[in-house]
Structure 1
């Protein structure tokens, strides 16, 4: 079936033998149109099922009331909740949301940003992928006067608005908790060190060991494993060492922590008696595993709300002399350690 043609103001004007400008003024409730003519135009527009082209109208006003979001994975609880927080806040302001995912692929991230630019979004909100460190596509968005807000994973040298976590302190608290529970040989499953948040988590881990006078064993620091198979192999190798770790901090995410728990169960290693496990990001499944997994809650919904509020605050401040817009703002939100069964050896 052939789709119906979109009704335009020219179609209404042709039917009523009026000019398109007269129809446009009537539809915009202008006082420069005779009241009887205005009512006739409105009645005809409704009969013809006319729908205004909001995109074209907003473009004429210089804004589309649309925000674009680019995340590495939509199906991860953290990113899904950030998106939820953004949508909740912008909906109240009459804004729309376009969601893209990079799938941790740099080329796709570039494509996502270019697509959002072509859609003339007012703002791009992004958490960058771990694949690559060329951010010229983000600078290009800034050069086109598109507001850019980074969250969680950020290009540190790019001067934009940022909403981040104090991830180093969170890691310090997580490892300190493991030490308080009596764990002495704590392994670290790293995230990709090209991203600042994972370097900061490593720093928090190292600082906790130093503060508690525990030695740093480089053999217990495992570089990023992208796939479940790699994580499984690395954890199995750790637990097969002559002097294996008695705790593992899966600093990349909770999916890594889940992989640790699965390997421990398969090898007959008791959790938390023989092995403590701590993850990061508070995925929903961490509450229902056996035992439940200690993790770090990043307050994802609040991050999304903060991103939205930051955008609207900056938009309102634009042009006001009292507001200094030379120094991009960075808002840091403190995560919370959620202690659960996988680390509670000393109850």
Structure 2
């Protein structure tokens, strides 16, 4: 069965033998159409199941009432909660969201951005992919006069609104906690160091070791370990060292921490007695593993709400012709101590 054709104002105009402009004015409750004609047009539109094209209407007004969001992975708790926080606030203001994921690929991120620009969104919110460090596509957003807000993983060289975590302080607190539990050889599973967010976490790890008088052992700092395929062999290598670590800080995310737990269990290494484990991002599974995994909560829903409020504040400033300057809002994460680091 062929789908029904969308009813337009031209269809209503033909049925009533009126002009399309008269129908449009009536449906927009214009005072330039007499009341009897207006009621007839509204009644006929309802009978014909007419639905206004809000996108076209908004574009005529110079706004699409739409925000585009690009995240590395939608199915990660942190990113999905940020999206939920954005939606909760923007829905109340009549905005719609278009959500894209880059799958950590630079080319796909560029494609997502170009699609959103072509959709005439009012704002693009992004946490950049781990692959690549060329941000010409984000400059293109700015050049199109589309508001750009970066969060969590950001391109520092672009002067845009940013909402970030205090990653260095959070990592320092996590490693300091493990040290106070008696762990002395703490390994680090790095995130991609081309991204500032992971450089900050590494800096926090190093700062905690130095603050407690422990050496920074390069043998215990592992790069290229942020996927399951990479983290598994890396953890095995660490645990097979002549002097293996007695704790591992998986600074990339909780999925890396879960790999540590799986490998340790497979190798017969007891957690937390012989090995402490701390992740990052407070994924839902960290509370139900055995043992439960210590982690860092980034207040993801609150980050989403902060992003939305920052956008609306910026729009209000523009409407008032108030000059705005690039702002960075930093939110303090929370260390959640669970069984995997509690000796």
TM-score in same-fold range (> 0.5): yes
- Specify the alignment match of 2:339 in structure 1: 341
State the distance in 2 between where 1:324 and 1:81 align.
31
1:3 Cα offset (Å): 1.2
1:226 Cα offset (Å): 4.1
- Specify the alignment match of 2:203 in structure 1: 203
Is the contact made by 2:68 and 2:99 (CA closer than 8 Å) also made in structure 1? yes
Alignment of 1:56-67 (within 5 A): 56-67=56-67
- Specify the alignment match of 1:152 in structure 2: 152
State the distance in 1 between where 2:198 and 2:263 align.
23
Kindly indicate whether residue 114 of structure 2 is the aligned counterpart of residue 114 of structure 1. Answer: yes
- Specify the alignment match of 1:324 in structure 2: 323
Q: Could you list the runs of 4 or more consecutive aligned residues of structure 1 that deviate by over 3 angstroms after TM superposition?
A: none
Alignment of 1:129-144 (within 5 A): 129-144=129-144
Structure 2's unaligned 5+ residue stretches are none
TM-score by length of 2: 0.99
Is the contact made by 2:226 and 2:252 (CA closer than 8 Å) also made in structure 1? no
Kindly indicate whether residue 232 of structure 2 is the aligned counterpart of residue 232 of structure 1. Answer: yes
Alignment of 1:257-276 (within 5 A): 257-276=257-276
State the distance in 1 between where 2:320 and 2:64 align.
22
* 1:2-42 Cα deviation digits (max 9, x unpaired): 11111111111111111111111100000110111111111
Alignment of 1:178-327 (within 5 A): 178-321=178-321, 323-325=322-324, 327=325
State the distance in 1 between where 2:268 and 2:131 align.
36
Cα distance, 1:258–1:178 mapped onto 2, change above 3 Å: same
* 1:234-277 Cα deviation digits (max 9, x unpaired): 10110011100000000000000000001111111111111100
TM-score by length of 1: 0.98
Q: Cα RMSD between the aligned structures?
A: 0.8
Alignment of 1:68-87 (within 5 A): 68-87=68-87
* Secondary structure of residue in 2 paired with 1:265: helix
Aligned length: 343
Range with greater deviation from structure 2 (312-321 or 164-173)? 312-321
1:319 Cα offset (Å): 4.1
* Secondary structure of residue in 2 paired with 1:318: helix
* Secondary structure of residue in 2 paired with 1:219: helix
* Secondary structure of residue in 2 paired with 1:117: helix
